Amino acid sequence: MNFNHETTKLDFVRHRKKFFTFSAVLISVGIILLSTLGLNLGIDFSSGTTMDVLADETVTEEEIADQFAAIGLEPDDITLAGDENDVGRAVFIGVLSQEETLEAQRHFEEVYGNVPTVSSVTPIVGQELAMNALISVLIAAVGIIIYVTIRFQLLYGLAAIIALFHDALFILAIFSIIQWEVNIPFIAAVLTIIGYSINDTIVTFDRIRENMKLEERVKTFEDVARVVNKSLIQTLARSINTVLTVVFAAGALLIFGGEAIRTFSLALVIGLVAGTYSSLFIAAQLWAVMKGRQLKKAKFNSKDVQESEA
């Protein structure tokens, strides 16, 4: 996998409109789904109690329901998990009281020998968590724009942030389609992807910046496009190798990591792919378009100046 920018016939910039359209369609579908179906919010973000019961043996939903009935509780939903269906997850809408929780823990410890995992959230706390996550993403975004503007230029920062929101929305869209339950580690995954996405974009931008300096004249959009293409091809091997290795790690977590981190690792895998896609096909192209416009404007302005001077 070696890519020589003089011999490799890959044009990343020419097809930009297809990439933009593809992402725009996907994101709009995602937004429509998000606003209609919405995410399947776990109790971390709504309110209620979930209880994971480890049985050390295969159980059925009826068995779990019977056990809860024995202590006078009726879960609103029961699902099974674990490789041998040995974990029962019961969801209660509305928070169980401390006594009910403790009673249930005692009961299941007697029956199965393991203390169940119980998580209860009141509505206020759940909303605060989601709000905090949103605020922290916005703060991180502003921080990144400022940093990139100082180290690079504002246009790079803008393109990087658009790519970042693209990736975050991409994950949210996929999760609203597959309707997996979203929990707090999911937020951690989305934030990680934001970090990765920016990391990945910066590496290609860094090469574009370097090549822009090497170019003697960059006057038109075509010049910009040539530089962007060259830079993307030069960093292509790195982009592919990096995403492959990280996907190995995240993929291993997804397949072998157990149900406790399944949502987290799936969000990571989706995000990593999206992050690489946006760095290769969206971010640099967006920058090229913006840079092209800037150059055009500068040209007109200098013409104006010349005319008025004449």
Q: Is 93 helix (H, G, I), strand (E, B) or coil?
A: strand
The radius of gyration computed from the CA coordinates of the chain, to the nearest angstrom, equals 25
Could you tell me the smallest distance in angstroms from the CB atom of residue 155 to another protein? 16
The structure tokens listed for 173 are: 């869209």
Sole binder of another protein in the list 33, 144, 208, 266 (CB under 8 A): 144
Sole binder of another protein in the list 130, 188, 218, 290 (CB under 8 A): 188
Sole binder of another protein in the list 65, 191, 218, 290 (CB under 8 A): 191
Residue located via tokens 């370097």: 210
If binding is defined by CB under 8 A, does position 73 make contact with another protein?
no
**How far apart are the C-alpha atoms of 24 and 33, rounded to whole Å?**
14
If binding is defined by CB under 8 A, does position 124 make contact with another protein?
yes
Site for another protein in 1-60 (CB under 8 A): 1-2, 4, 52, 54, 56
Site for another protein in 225-284 (CB under 8 A): 234-235, 237-238, 241-242, 244-246, 248-253, 255-258, 260-261, 264-265, 268
Sole binder of another protein in the list 8, 61, 195, 290 (CB under 8 A): 195
Contact present, 287 and 205 (Cβ < 8 Å): yes
Of 12-20, 168-176, 199-207, 290-298, which segment contacts another protein by CB under 8 A? Answer: 199-207
Q: Is 219 helix (H, G, I), strand (E, B) or coil?
A: coil
Contacts of 88 (CB under 8 A, 6+ apart): 52, 53, 55, 59, 61, 63, 64, 78, 79, 80, 81
If binding is defined by CB under 8 A, does position 285 make contact with another protein?
no
